[in-house]
Amino acid sequence: MVVPPLVLTLAKNPTVTEFDISSIRLVLSGAAPLGKELEEMLHNRIPQAVLGQGYGMTEAGPVLSMSLGFAKHPLPVSSGSCGTVVRNAELKVLDSETGRSLGYNQPGEICIRGQQIMK
């Protein structure tokens, strides 16, 4: 698991080409989303590697969702997506004022539930 500044280094730093990186098969990134341009630059530098992005927080165990591009049976991953909720966790987005569940692509408060969640 790496953070976006390391992905940027892998994708852009010319020193990286001095090393054999052909054995890299998977790059998992978290802490902040990667933009489409950075994803493409990394793919151009390490074409054999699958890129996965995740979302989490320390008090949640720490990973809540992960892209499935690296799964045993990979699924297509949209650029910028942090994937689907991990096993043994539930996640929903609520309107912070009304407490009602929101639909896709609507901003709100992330609420999570699972045995790995700190209370």
The tally of domains found in the chain comes to 1
Structural domain boundaries enclosing 80: 4-86
Residue 15: exposure state from Cβ atoms within 10 A (0-12, 13-18, ≥19): exposed
Determine, yes or no, domain membership for 8. Answer: yes
CATH number at residue 18: 3.40.50.980
Determine, yes or no, domain membership for 105. Answer: no
Q: How far is Cα 111 from Cα 52, in angstroms, rounded to an integer?
A: 23
CB 49 within 8 A of CB 25: yes
Residue-wise pLDDT tens for the chain (119 aa)?
Answer: 899 999 999 999 999 999 999 999 989 898 888 889 999 999 999 999 988 888 888 777 777 888 766 555 666 677 777 888 887 888 899 999 999 999 988 999 999 888 888 77
Determine, yes or no, domain membership for 35. Answer: yes
Determine, yes or no, domain membership for 76. Answer: yes
Q: Residue 60 CA to chain centroid, in angstroms?
A: 15
Determine, yes or no, domain membership for 50. Answer: yes
Which pTM value belongs to this model?
Answer: 0.73
